[in-house]
Copies of this chain bind each other. A is one copy, B any other.
């Protein structure tokens, strides 16, 4: 028997085609994503003109940006389409689909035809405002669009082996490398909306061309330096840089886009939440690729700030609609929580990179929290309705949309679901790590030998996980298993022999031995219903309690409670139990208990009185937050009144 060893390692995700999720929780959602959401989103992109915009060609007259015409010009056209192609490519990686592949090929053909001499590609600026091309990176999203296009091209090449799109994006990237940089005649610019940085790392990893990594590093290093590029760029447009105009409310100038100071000097998660997540993801990538500890330490400081002061219990972030982003420490309003779906998706990206960089389970804990709660709540079970913002309290007037004026979230959650396999496992030279648990298999190689890892589990409804391997001959390697932070008392045995977990650090137990096909690993993660309390400085949660079981955060909906959930009080000693309901919302565990309800029958004709409300006993029923608003509309609360 091998002792667990404390062996933080750098992990690499497995290729999508090597991970099969064959469970009751994720598999139906991924199937819906592939067979419903993907065509549905294409239809929406067609409907709003994003597809036809590919055929627009430069015209002498500008058209208004928001006419009532079929084609509604939007600066983020390319990003929406790119995320759809990336989703399609991820689906093609796991499921052969010649019709889909042809559909994507046809799109790419139209894109290649629209690429400008020299390599520039942006549908909006090429067709409608060629004179404004590359004049306002602060506000106009060109590098952001380029980033999503690069991500899509990489995913498409990885999935299909075809390179037309990749070649096109390498041409565009080389064009941009001529424009931006520290050399003579170059502009020392960088994007207002980060995205291209992490995309360039992907492009480097696929092509092996170091200049793409250097370009990403340039963008990250240049950010926030003085003299400030966004000031210079404004002057070049003939504008006076006005910090007040950029302040987006209470934030300092350029905090909105994390460009208020150089990234290594940043220690607060500020501004637009999605931009922040994409920037930090790139910083983590560069820290890994370059062994740059200064970037790693900056990421660690920012992580500490986010997770100890600014993160919703659902894994959401960015409470304010005003700046689509961050406010102040411990400010976590529930009813007005913005908590954009894209921000939680971005947090999953960042968390995964920090996990791969450090091997520390705390990153997997947050990744899991965001994934099972805020992210999954972003799309309905029908695959056709989406939340843009994700409040933790609702008065019954909040529902998922079929589309949004700024449709970034639907394709973002869709591409994450399509590539979910990336997040479950990590490989390194020493073996395999299991980050997330779900029934299914993972294929990898050890010493040239193919190995298949089997997970048998009903996670997240049950915390028992059995693992075994298919392999032809015994092989020595390390199996690293995550012990989730939410679990107080994990138990582990190998072939029936208990493994002492008392010395485990950083959330992973590392089992190194010669594994063979007869070995059986049994992990038990007991998941009682937990009451969760927020830090006393979170005024919006004062006196309140949330319910969590395993990684799943629960909420109470009016349709179960029969009253608005704010009228329920959960006694501290009330017994709470979980029950699996196979017929409810596709099969979920609900939480039941006995609460008290405040009665209003004796309040006729008065709004205030000196006698406290009378209370009666009432049943409590809580359902997973990610599945709210899929039955009768009504009030919802994550944070319940405690006592």
- Which residues of chain B have C-beta atoms less than 8 A from A307's C-beta? 607
Residue pair A608, B313 in contact (C-beta under 8 Å) = yes
* Chain B residue with the shortest CB-CB distance to A600: B536
Q: Cβ of A159: which chain B residues have Cβ within 8 Å of it?
A: none
- Residue-wise, chain A 205-235 has the 8 Å CB interface mask toward B (1 for contact) of 0000000000000000000000000000000
A545: chain B residues at CB < 8 Å are 612
Q: Residue A612 contacts which of B313, B567, B600, B642 (CB distance < 8 angstroms)?
A: B642
Known A530-B610, A569-B543, A610-B531: A599·B536 in contact at CB below 8 Å: yes
Cα distance, A564 to B533, chains bound together (Å): 18
User: Chain B contacts of A65 at CB under 8 A?
Assistant: none
Chain B neighbourhood of A546, CB < 8 A:
608
Name the distance in Å between A3's Cβ and chain B's nearest Cβ. 28
Q: Give the number of copies in the complex.
A: 2
Contact: A542 with B530, CB < 8 Å? no
Smallest beta-carbon distance A574→chain B, Å:
14
Is A129 part of the binding interface, using a Cβ–Cβ cutoff of 8 Å?
no
The verdict on A66 contacting chain B, using a C-beta distance below 8 Å, is no
User: In A595-631, which residues have CB < 8 Å from any B CB?
Assistant: 598-600, 603, 605-613
User: In the complex, which residues of chain B have a beta carbon less than 8 angstroms from the beta carbon of A532?
Assistant: 608-610
A641 close to chain B: CB less than 8 A = yes
A363-B539 Cα distance, complex, nearest whole Å:
35
Instruction: Judge whether B610 and A533 touch: CB under 8 Å.
Output: yes
Residues of B within 8 A of A539 (CB): 395, 564, 566-567, 635
Residue from B309, B606, B613, B642 in contact with A607 in the complex, judged by beta carbons closer than 8 Å: B309
A534 at the interface (CB under 8 A from B): yes
B-side contacts of A611, CB under 8 Å: 533
**A473 CB–B CB distance under 8 Å:** no
In the complex the two chains form, is A533's CB within 8 Å of B613's CB? Answer: yes
Chain B, residue nearest A572 (CB): B612
Q: Are B598 and A542 in contact (CB under 8 A)?
A: yes
Indicate if A308 sits at the interface (CB-CB under 8 A). Answer: yes
Contact of B308 with A536 in the complex, beta carbons under 8 Å:
no
Please give, as numbers and ranges, the residues of chain B lying within 8 Å of A533 by CB-CB distance. Answer: 608-613
Q: How far is the CB of A504 from chain B (nearest CB, A)?
A: 19
- Is B535 a contact partner of A603 (Cβ separation < 8 A)? yes
Chain B residue contacts of A534, Cβ below 8 A: 607-608
**A311: interface (CB < 8 Å):** yes
Within 8 A of B (CB), among A386-427: 395
Query: Is A583 interfacial (CB 8 A cutoff)?
Result: no
Contact with B along A297-316 (1 / 0, CB 8 A): 00000001001110101000
Nearest neighbor of A604 in chain B, beta-carbon distance:
B308
Would A603 and B536 be within 8 Å (CB), given that A313-B608, A572-B612, A643-B643 are in contact? yes
A55 contacts B by Cβ under 8 Å:
no
- Using CB atoms, name the residue of chain B closest to A537: B600
Query: Which of A304, A605, A606, A608 gathers most chain B CB within 10 Å?
Result: A608
When distances are taken between beta carbons in the complex, the residues of chain B under 8 Å from A609 are 532-533
A607 in contact with B308 given A537-B564, A537-B600, A612-B533 (CB within 8 Å): yes
| Chain B: CB-nearest residue to A611 | B533
Mark contacts of A469-488 with chain B using CB atoms, 8 A cut-off: 1 yes-contact digit, 0 otherwise: 00000000000000000000
A484 to B605, CA, bound (A): 17
- Tell me the smallest distance from the CB of A444 to a CB of chain B, in Å: 34
By beta carbon, the residue of chain B nearest A486 is: B610
| Chain B hits for A598, CB < 8 A | 536, 542
Q: Which residue of B lies closest to A308 (CB)?
A: B607
Contact in complex: B542, A641 (CB < 8 Å): yes
What residues of chain B lie closer than 8 Å to A641, measured between beta carbons?
A: 542-543
User: Which residues of A238-266 are within 8 A (CB) of B?
Assistant: none
**Given A533-B608, A535-B603, A536-B600, 7 new contacts (CB under 8 A):** A308-B607, A395-B539, A530-B610, A532-B609, A538-B607, A542-B567, A543-B569
Q: Which residues of A contact B (CB under 8 A)?
A: 304, 307-309, 311, 313, 395, 530-539, 542-543, 545-546, 564, 566-567, 569, 572, 598-600, 603, 605-613, 635, 641-643
